[in-house]
Amino acid sequence: MRLRLAGAVLLSAAAYYVYLPLPSGVSEPWKLMLLDALFRSFLQASDAAHSLGVCHRVHLLNQVVSWVEVIEARSCAAVHVTDSTLGGVPTRVFQPKEGKQLKRGVLYFHGGGWALGSGRMRSYDRLCRKMAEDLDAVIMSVDYRLAPEAVFPDQYHDALAASRAFLSSQVLERYGIDPHRVCVSGDSAGGNLAAAVAQELSLDDTLTVKFKAQALIYPVLQALDFYTPSYQQNQAVPILYRPIMARFWLQYLGADSSLEPLLLANNHSSLDQPAISASARSKLDWTALLPPKRRKHFRPVVKETGSPGVMGEVPELMDVRAAPLLAEQGVLGRTPKAYVMTCEFDVLRDDGLMYVRRLQDAGVAVTSDHYEDGFHGCMVFAFLPMMSSVGQRSMNNYIHWLDQNL
């Protein structure tokens, strides 16, 4: 009897910990709850280790990821898989064994807030294998340096170095890649790097080969407004909570973590900040850039006076290489045709949707692929054991777009 009672108590406690009220429209909520409970456990353990001085919170999280997710490069019947370097940056290469002699090429940057993850993770390995086989394309998944050891612009420089090497005649010839059919892509923080690289290389007239397309998966593109409608609507929706995104930004920019409350209050982007011009503000004015369906009932949060020292401490907040949404219209107009995936239940939804609008206004052909039941990170959950319906749909549609546009 006592064992049954103890079991019931433990089961109730586990259910209480796992259960989280979620929006009614989110895809397969119980799977997301379980994923969130696991992620929260790791976050809490890493925060405790950090507070005790055992290790940096990011190190513990990445150690767990390595134990659970990172796998060796293993070829299969259809795809040859090797670990190599690209512009001096570690890269996993996926090459189809059959198909055409000249193949399409995709350069991919993984997500993880510029601090977590690896292109060698099981989920990315499976994604890139499927892309290689379905598209008859060479896929190169880049392992750029991570925070806290590396901070901006290190990750950007790694992405740029890998991109320049990818587009070089030596690499294209070595792997049999068609120079007219190359794409840069990435998800979340990787989408940020892909967008920044696409902008930079579009301006380089010395390049003989340029990207034909950019494919951005729920990208993070700005850190001046943490009160967009999607930040307000989804601040408590897993797996990317609003405070976690602010923390990722500060880690990436090498800033003091104590600034997190100021970012979350929009004190860093108050109207008394001379570093932020009216032109810069217009580039992320969601009241003009988002359709009414996405603005809903939300109102902008713009402080008259804030914390004047923040922009001085973290000038990188205004650096277009870190925040591609702040790019000038003339720069955007030179970037390749784009695919931008967004999810309704994602704090970064409006970053992507505003970028879609700005690219369109600049004359770029854009496919906006929005998932009404999607959540941040859903595409990498297209495989077991955390397979989700929206994960499979989003992955298949992403690959289909590449097939039709590359």
CA distance 211 to 183: 5
Strand order from edge to edge, sheet including 213-217: 79-86, 89-96, 137-142, 103-109, 177-187, 213-217, 337-345, 366-375
**Whether residue 305 has pLDDT greater than 70:** yes
Is 168 a known active-site residue?
no
The 3-state DSSP class for residue 377 equals: coil
CA distances 47 to 33, 56, 61, 134, 390, Å, are 20, 8, 10, 41, 31
- How would residue 12 be classed by pLDDT, with cut points 50, 70 and 90? very low
Query: Would you place residue 13 in the very low, low, confident or very high pLDDT band (cuts 50, 70, 90)?
Result: very low
Element (H, E) at 378: none
User: Residue 173: is its pLDDT beyond 80?
Assistant: yes
Tokens of 124: 């990315």
Peptide bond into 153 cis (omega under 30): yes
pLDDT for 331 equals 98
Could you read off the pLDDT of 354-396 as tens digits, one per residue? 999 999 999 999 999 999 999 999 998 888 777 889 999 999 9
Residue 188 among the catalytic residues: yes
Query: What b/e readout covers 210-222, taking b as 16+ CB neighbours within 10 angstroms?
Result: bbbbbbbbbbbbb
What percent of the chain has a predicted confidence (pLDDT) above 90?
79
8: pLDDT confidence band, cut at 50, 70 and 90? very low
CA-to-CA distance for 8 and 236, rounded, in angstroms? 29
CATH superfamily of 65-223+332-405: Alpha/Beta hydrolase fold, catalytic domain (3.40.50.1820)
- pLDDT tens, position by position, 179-229: 999 999 999 999 999 999 999 999 999 999 999 999 999 999 999 999 999
Contact yes or no for 248/228 (Cβ under 8 A):
no
Q: What is the mean pLDDT of residues 121-131?
A: 96
Catalytic entry in 143, 187, 346, 351: 346
Q: Where are the domains of the chain?
A: 65-223+332-405
pLDDT of residue 1: 57
pTM of the full structure: 0.95
Q: What is the pLDDT of residue 10?
A: 41
Q: What does each C-alpha distance from 31 to 68, 125, 241, 390, 391 come to in angstroms?
A: 18, 22, 17, 12, 12
Catalytic residue among 188, 270, 388, 394: 188
pLDDT in tens, 60-82: 888 887 788 999 999 999 999 99
Tell me whether residue 346 is one of the annotated catalytic residues.
Answer: yes
pLDDT score for 58: 87
- Which residues, 6 or more positions from 247, have their beta carbon under 8 angstroms from its beta carbon? 113, 257, 260
Q: Kindly tell me if the per-residue pLDDT of 36 is higher than 50.
A: yes
Helix residue ranges per DSSP H, 24-103: 29-51, 57-68
The single residue of 125, 185, 376, 388 carrying the catalytic annotation is: 376
